[in-house]
Amino acid sequence: MKKIIGKCSECGKPIHIKGLCLRHYKRVQNKIFRARHPLKCRQYCKEWNIRLKYEIFSHYSGEQPKCAKCGFSDIRALCLDHIYNDGAEERRRITNGEKRSLNGQKIYQWIKKNNFPNRYQILCFNCNIIKQRELTDKRI
């Protein structure tokens, strides 16, 4: 076996290949792949996002995600509901008060990273809107 000598030019760890450690080598390869196959990459990204959504929704709802109130189960019309209605506060917590936009994807990533906090449920858009209406005491 050939002895590996030298250090990664990015981080100083032992070299894996081409002057880089394994982690940085992979990072470079990813970059090249992304540049060469932008469409494929977007597709991967999309699939990954869908998987993440399923993972989050089935954690809070069961293998086949469904609305906690009415049982509606088309994931396209399901959403993550803040049980305690503190979405605004949570937004601040996740972004650290920064005013950058927070989309669903970022919330899902945050939830996963924080071991699925026990404060969400899955509702369909109808039940979600009805809940909002009830909170603000609007009948119509």
Interface contacts to Zn ion, rule CB under 5 A:
8, 10-11, 13, 21, 24, 67, 69-70, 72, 124, 127
Closest separation in Å from C-beta 30 to Zn ion: 14
What's the count of helices (H) and strands (E) in the chain, helices before strands?
Answer: 5, 2
User: How many residues appear in the chain?
Assistant: 140
Of the pair 45, 83, the CB lying nearest Zn ion is at 83
Closest separation in Å from C-beta 74 to Zn ion: 10
Distance CA 42, CA 14 (A): 33
Give the angle subtended at the CA of 51 by the CAs of 46 and 57, to the nearest 5°. 125
Cα 112 versus chain centre, distance? 7
Closest separation in Å from C-beta 93 to Zn ion: 27
Closest separation in Å from C-beta 129 to Zn ion: 10
Cα 28 versus chain centre, distance? 23
Of the pair 19, 38, the CB lying nearest Zn ion is at 19
